[in-house]
Amino acid sequence: MPELPEVETVRRGLAPYLTGARIAAVALNRADLRFAFPADLATALVGETVTGVGRRAKYLLIALSSGETVLSHLGMTGAYRFAFGGPAEPTRHHRVPGGHDHMVWSLVHPDHGAFDLIYSDTRRFGFIDLLSDPAENPYLAGLGPEPLSNAFDAPYLAARLAGRKAPIKTALLDQRIIAGLGNIYVCEVLYRAHILPTVPAGDLVAGDGRPKPPLEDLVAAIRAVLAEAIAAGGSTLRDFRAADGERGYFQHSFTVYDREGEPCLTPGCRGTIARIVQSGRSSFFCPVCQKSAE
C-alpha cells in the first residue's frame, strides 16, 4: 500500500523503538511472503542490536550490529505494529481465521523495555531479505533518485524523459526514473501540476533537452505533495505505539485519487474527475484543468 510517504511514516514510528533494541527472538509463522524468507533470517537476527532504521524508496532498511541489514518491503498490505505486554491485538486484516501475522520480533530496549514487533501482510506482496551490503543489492541499485533529495530536479527528469513515448503516468511509476511514487501520488502530482496522465513523457521536454515549464511545475508538485503527505503522516505517529501504522496510510485525504465523478477541487475549475486505466492501473484526473504539454 505504502508509497514513499507511508513508508517514511512507518520508519519514523519504528526508529525510536527499534534503535538500540536487542533482538531476543524471532518467530516466522510461514516460510515465505512474496519470496521465501532467507534461510538464516532468524538466527542472523537473534542476539543482534538494531543500530538504525532507514528508508530507500519504498524499502525499509533495518541496520543490525552485525553489519547486516534487514530489507523490508511492505507490498500492498504490509504493516508493522507493536505489542507491549499482553496478547497482541489483531490488525484489522486479522479478523478472518488464520490471520496474517507472518513475522514477530521480540525486542528489549533499554528505555522501552520488552515488546514485540509484528509484521502482518494480508496479500503477501511484501518481502523481507537480509543484505550484507545494501549498496550492492539489486533491489536498491537500480532505483532512481529520492524525490526529496538534491539529486532530483527538473534537468534530471528532463534527461530521463526525453524521447519517451510512454505516458507520463507510466514513467513516474517507474522506480528506476524516480523512487517512491506509486499510483496514488502519481495521480496527485499530475493533478497538482495540471498535466494529463496520458501526455507522452517526452512531450514535457523541449527540443534542446531542457524541461518545459510544465515539467518544472511537475517537479515542484512532486516535492510539495510528498512533503505534505509525510507531514500528515507524522501527525499520526502519536498513536503508532498502540496502532498498527495502517491508520496513517489513509488518514491523508486525496484531492483527485478515488474521486471519480466528483467535482474538481482546483479553484475556479468546473470539471468533474474522470477515471481511465493505464498499464492496468486506475488514473484519476480532471479533463478540464489538466492539459497536454504545449
Partner DNA sequence: ACTTTGACCTGTGCGC
Partner DNA sequence: TGCGCACAGGTCAAAG
C-alpha 87/C-alpha 183 separation (Å) is: 36
C-alpha 275/C-alpha 229 separation (Å) is: 22
123 is a contact residue toward DNA (CB under 7 A): yes
Place of cell 486505466: 277
255 is a contact residue toward DNA (CB under 7 A): no
Residue 281 designated active-site: yes
Question: Residue 223 Cβ, how far from DNA at the closest point, in Å?
Answer: 18
The response to whether 164 counts as a known ligand-binding position is: yes
| 64-72, 112-120, 123-131, 266-274 -> range binding DNA (CB under 7 A) | 123-131
The response to whether 100 counts as a known ligand-binding position is: yes
Residue 188 designated active-site: no
Long-range CB pairs of 157-160, under 8 A, 24+ apart, other chains included = 157/211, 157/215, 157/218, 157/219, 158/204, 158/205, 158/206, 158/209, 158/210, 158/211, 158/215, 159/209
Question: Residue 280 Cβ, how far from DNA at the closest point, in Å?
Answer: 5
Q: For 121-160, give one letter per residue: b (16+ CB within 10 A) or e.
A: bbebebbbbbbeebeebebbeebbbbbbeeebebebbbeb
Binds DNA by CB under 7 A, chosen from 12, 112, 124, 212: 124
Q: Which is nearer to DNA, 279 or 292 (CB)?
A: 279
Fill in the per-residue mask, 31 to 70: x = in contact with DNA (CB under 7 A), - = not in contact. ---x----------------------xx------------
Residue 3 designated active-site: yes
164 is a contact residue toward DNA (CB under 7 A): yes
Collapse the DSSP code of 132 into the 3-class scheme (helix H, G, I; strand E, B; otherwise coil) and give the result.
coil
236 is a contact residue toward DNA (CB under 7 A): no
Contact 201, 178 (CB under 8 A): no
145 is a contact residue toward DNA (CB under 7 A): no
Selecting among 55, 58, 81, 259, the annotated active-site residue is: 58
Where is 256: in which H helix or E strand? none
Binds DNA by CB under 7 A, chosen from 1, 107, 230, 273: 1
The catalytic residue positions are 2-3, 58, 281
Residues annotated within a binding site for DNA: 100, 123, 164
